[in-house]
Amino acid sequence: MSLWVPYQLINLPSKTWRRICEAPVVLRRLFLTEFFGWMSILCHNVFFTNFVGQYIYGGLPDAPEHTELAILYDEGVRMGSWGLFLHSLIACVYALVIQQPLIYLFGDRFVFIGGSAVFAVAMMATIVSPNIYFLIIVTSLSGIGFAAITSTPNTLVTLYNTNKQVWMWDDSRDMSSSVSGSAPANSHHGMAADISILDTAFYLSQIVLSAFMGPVVEAAGSSLAYMVVSAGTALLSVYCATRVVFSEGDLRNIQSGHF
């Protein structure tokens, strides 16, 4: 019993990797989209105020109190906080009022890929413009992408679970459980197990950012690296979003090797 907890901790990465690899292709594609999307969003939301305080205003977070560099950094953090406030406000209004009518008119694919693309463009705009008011505007608009990634993936998982024999025809998880003796051959994974794969993407993105952003910024020598990473992962998320399965037509294309 005393070795059970250490064993589980050591075995956790391989179990998680195997669980993702054994998931149906529709979930794996959604996982990659979520992983890069959350990396981009979290990199922006966590480090944006520091980016504004250091790169835009030219301040230093470790400057002595009441010095010019400390005052500039504090002003930048306050302005960056306003940008994040408007980012959250736009995300809330868009999700409550605008997103559903757009889905009704254009479909989930257009709204999801479009929202991801808006976020990517907003992140690229933060790289090229030093104007704080322009940055606040594009940061506000990035809330559209935040609303998209927090809603559409769960909607798609619900769709996939309406008919698992169709949408998850390649699901090998029950087969592997049966072979290992951990579950009977006729067991089925529920929707919560599928959603947990998306949750894994969310938490894994935080782990990767925590592990690598410090060395990346130190190597780059500039806090601009935060927004470069955010923009790059946002573009990867947009590409992955174009590979997500939204319809049975997409499913047939996958099965025929054309998607």
Q: What's the pLDDT at 256? A: 81
∠ CA 48-80-137, rounded to 5°: 95
Both tokens assigned to 139: 């940061």
pLDDT at 1 over 70: no
* pLDDT at residue 5, rounded to an integer: 64
Name the token pair of 128.
């090229």
Average pLDDT of the residues in 142-169: 91
CA distance 223 to 12: 33
pLDDT at 62 over 80: yes
| The predicted structure's pLDDT at residue 176 | 46
Q: What pLDDT score does 76 carry?
A: 96
| pLDDT at position 19 | 81
Average pLDDT in the 163-176 region?
Answer: 72
Scanning the chain, the segments in alpha helix (DSSP H) are 4-21, 25-51, 68-93, 99-106, 108-128, 132-141, 143-149, 152-162, 164-167, 173-180, 191-220, 224-241, 248-255
Check residues 168 and 55 and name the one with the higher pLDDT. 55
- The pLDDT value recorded for residue 7 is 62
Please report the pLDDT score of residue 123 as a whole number. Answer: 96
Integer Cα distance of 200 and 19 in angstroms: 10
Whole-Å CA distances, 184 to 24, 167, 180, 188: 19, 22, 10, 9
CB 245 within 8 A of CB 26: yes
Q: What is the mean pLDDT of the chain?
A: 88
The more confidently predicted of residues 12 and 238 is 238
The predicted pLDDT at position 181 comes to 43
Q: What is the pLDDT of residue 188?
A: 53
Q: Is the per-residue pLDDT at 82 higher than 80? A: yes
- Burial of residue 97 (CB within 10 Å: 0-12, 13-18, 19+) is exposed
pLDDT band at 20; cut points 50, 70, 90:
confident
Query: How far apart, in whole angstroms, are the C-alpha atoms of residue 223 and residue 231?
Result: 14
Classified by CATH at the fold level, domain 35-171+189-255 comes out as Growth Hormone; Chain: A; (1.20.1250)
Least confident of 66-75, 134-143, 169-178: 169-178
Using CA atoms, how far apart are residues 217 and 140, in angstroms rounded to an integer? 24
The ranges assigned to domains in the chain are 35-171+189-255
Name the pLDDT band for 168 (thresholds 50, 70, 90). confident
- Contact between 22 and 176 under an 8 Å Cβ cutoff? The reply is yes
Give the global pTM.
0.87
Residue 238 CA to residue 222 CA, distance in Å, equals 26
For 200-228, what is each residue's pLDDT tens digit?
A: 999 999 999 999 999 999 999 999 999 99
Instruction: Tell me the helices (H) and strands (E) count for the chain, helix number first.
Output: 13, 0
Neighbours of 137 (CB within 10 A): 16
Per-residue model confidence (pLDDT) at position 180? 42
| Mean pLDDT, residues 118-145 | 95
